[in-house]
Amino acid sequence: MSMENKDAIRVILLGPPGAGKGTQAVFISRSLGIPHIASGDLFREAQSKGTELGLLVKSYMEKGELIPDEITVAMVLERSAAPDCKKGYILDGFPRTIGQAKALDKALEDKGDTIDKVVYIKVSDNELLRRLSGRWICRDCQTPYHIVESPPKVPGICDRCGGKLYQRADDNEKTVKNRLSVYSSQTVPLIDYYGDAGKLVEVDGSQGIDNVAKAILAAVNPSE
Ligand code: ADP
Ligand code: AMP
């Protein structure tokens, strides 16, 4: 292992759509001083820029289906190789399949690196539906809000950057149900995958935002 990477911390936030991964990533990123890499945000950015990748992934995202592993892995590995990731990063929404997890492990292993912690944020399906149907997101910095749980100070405007808030097209009931079923069949196996590797920490995501943040920080912060 190189000296440069010795102090790095790499964390995966694992959990169903709506569990609070993006919400919590904002706190951990600030607290540990490492970037937040959300595969969904990267795909949405590609779509809004109208890139080739954006056009390729559009129909998968509209239906709530997963984008093929090869495309997703290449995109995330490229992002995680950027200079700001030297001290580590928080992965949100990636990996989502065993294939993606193995590709990530292999890429890290080749560099003598590893994933330190996988935080599994557990929340019931009913609560996920409630959260996703009330979710609003900043078009510019992607911060998530909730009409009841964490409303912005000024309706429709992001507290952090002043950007406009919008509701994701795939947060409609039909697509959410498909995303939850895709999560059960393709992503749930990762709980055992990382459990067997001794990296999994389970956090009760049904608590309020602040308590979930405290539980996650205690689990990932090496100084705690
Ligand atoms: P994910 O990134 O896992 O899909 P988000 O972080 O976007 O989930 O959260 C989904 C919705 O639930 C958002 O509207 C967010 O404001 C809200 N939310 C997040 N954490 C909590 C919580 N602990 N309690 C209540 N609502 C929450
Ligand atoms: P998210 O923002 O994490 O809810 O992801 C939104 C959509 O982006 C998903 O429904 C998928 O279509 C796609 N996506 C995001 N991350 C991945 C991933 N790791 N693997 C495959 N598809 C993904």
Ligand closest to 205 (CA) is: 1
What per-residue confidence (pLDDT) applies to 222?
A: 58
Q: Please write the tens of the pLDDT for every residue from 53-102.
A: 999 999 999 999 999 999 999 999 999 999 999 999 999 999 999 999 99
For the purposes of burial, counting CB atoms within 10 Å of the CB of 132, is it exposed (0-12), middle (13-18) or buried (19 or more)? buried
What is the fold of 3-123+186-220?
Rossmann fold (3.40.50)
What per-residue confidence (pLDDT) applies to 3?
A: 43
Q: Which residues of the chain are under the pLDDT cut of 70?
A: 1-6, 222-224
Catalytic site residue from 10, 44, 79, 135: 135
CA of 167 to the centre of ligand 1 (A): 13
Residue 91, SS3? strand
What per-residue confidence (pLDDT) applies to 1?
A: 40
Give catalytic status of residue 135 as yes or no.
yes
What per-residue confidence (pLDDT) applies to 7?
A: 80
CA of 112 to the centre of ligand 1 (A): 34
DSSP string across 180-223:
HHHIIIIITHHHHHHHHTT-EEEEETTS-HHHHHHHHHHHH-TT
Q: Measured between alpha carbons, how far is residue 6 from residues 50, 125, 216 in Å?
A: 38, 39, 22
Residues 160 and 109: their CA atoms lie apart, in Å, by 36
Residue nearest to atom 19 of ligand 2 (CA): 94
Please state the three-class secondary structure of 41-71 as a single string: HHHHHHHHHCCHHHHHHHHHHHHCCCCCHHH
CA of 187 to the centre of ligand 1 (A): 18
16 lines ligand 2 (CB under 6 A): no
Residues 62 and 9: their CA atoms lie apart, in Å, by 33
Residues 206 and 123 sit within 8 Å (Cβ to Cβ): yes
Residues 93 and 183 sit within 8 Å (Cβ to Cβ): no
